[in-house]
């Protein structure tokens, strides 16, 4: 299975500041069709995961442009600018290029 | 509005069975692959099963293969997860989701304990 290594485990931030989360895969996530199926989710306390970014850099409907995704191959990054209180929670990356789908272990974004 | 509502969770003894259901609305259910994803208490996310639009193809990770069965009823816009030979490590919140990952239900808790 593809191993998704997410860092850091915990990320203290100040409101209005910037956060960056890394996700590295154990093999390239470029599919044979040329697409890269790497996605980012936010899980707020007591809620189900919500899709933020799909296929590396595409913001899902309603997601503010403070969230941006980048990367290629095996290295990917989620950046959050001007952090707001509703951004706090657990962030997960997910790869669906290779069977089975696998998630990163998560990054807890919390107040400094 | 897309809605996915899970039901059927609860406390079950090891070795017993349980069937989860997911009622879908707000989209054409029969057009989408569907999936179940679980999250053990205070842990990360684990994909559990996927089913094709017609139900003819199903996919499972090794951790549940042979014990769990995903199925669907397109006429009822419903998704199911039959869980047999349950183990303590199956204790988790189970989420129903469109396989595209864009919409998830609120989850249902399954506790396997004697």
Identify all chain A residues contacting B47, using CB atoms and an 8 Å cutoff: 100-103
Average pLDDT of chain B? 97
Structure confidence at residue B107 (pLDDT):
98
Backbone φ and ψ of B30, nearest 5°: -70, -10
Q: State the nearest Cα–Cα gap between A34 and chain B, in angstroms.
A: 17
* Mean pLDDT calculated for residue range B83-104: 96
A10 CB within 8 Å of a chain B CB: no
Residue B110 confidence (pLDDT): 98
pLDDT tens-digit series, residues A56-103: 999 999 999 999 999 999 999 999 999 999 999 999 999 999 989 999
CA distance B84 to A9: 34
Contact A37/B at CB under 8 A: no
Of B44, B61, B106, the CB nearest to A48: B106
Q: Is A91 on the interface with B (CB under 8 A)?
A: no
| Measured distance CA(A63)–CA(B56) in Å, rounded | 34
CA of B97 vs chain A CAs: smallest distance (Å):
10
How close, in Å, is residue A14 to chain B by CA atoms? 24
Mean of pLDDT values over B44-69 = 96
Give yes or no for residue B100 having a pLDDT over 90.
Answer: no
Q: Does residue B34 contact residue B105 with C-beta atoms inside 8 Å?
A: no
Query: What is the DSSP secondary structure assignment for residue B76, as one 8-state letter?
Result: G
Q: How far apart are the first and last CA of chain A?
A: 35
Mean pLDDT of all residues in chain A?
97
Tell me the C-alpha to C-alpha distance, in Å, between residue B45 and each of A14, A70, A88: 27, 22, 18
User: A102 at the B interface (CB within 8 A)?
Assistant: yes
> Residue B88: pLDDT above 90?
yes
Residue A100: list chain B partners with CB under 8 A. Answer: 47, 59, 61
Question: How does pLDDT run across B12-40, given as a tens digit for each residue?
Answer: 999 999 999 999 999 999 999 999 999 99
């Amino acid at each position: 299975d593809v191993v998704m290594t997410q860092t850091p485990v915990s990320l203290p931030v100040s409101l209005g500041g910037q956060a960056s989360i890394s996700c590295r895969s154990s093999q390239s996530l470029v599919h044979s069709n040329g697409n890269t199926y790497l996605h980012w989710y936010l899980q707020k306390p007591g809620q189900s995961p919500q899709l933020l970014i799909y296929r590396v850099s595409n913001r899902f409907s309603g997601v503010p442009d403070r969230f941006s995704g980048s990367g290629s191959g095996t290295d990917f990054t989620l950046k959050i600018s001007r952090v707001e209180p509703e951004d706090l929670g657990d962030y997960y990356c997910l790869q669906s290029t290779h069977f089975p789908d696998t998630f990163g272990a998560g990054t807890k974004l919390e107040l400094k | 509005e897309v809605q996915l509502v899970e039901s059927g969770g609860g406390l079950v003894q090891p070795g017993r069975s349980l069937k989860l259901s997911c009622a879908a609305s707000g989209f054409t259910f029969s057009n989408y692959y569907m999936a179940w994803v679980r999250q053990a208490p205070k842990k990360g996310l684990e994909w559990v099963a996927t089913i094709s639009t017609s139900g003819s193809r199903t996919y499972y990770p090794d951790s549940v293969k042979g014990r769990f069965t995903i199925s669907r009823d397109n006429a009822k816009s419903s998704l199911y997860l039959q869980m047999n030979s349950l183990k303590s490590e199956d204790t988790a919140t189970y989420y129903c989701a469109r396989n595209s990952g864009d919409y998830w239900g609120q989850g249902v808790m399954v506790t396997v304990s004697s």
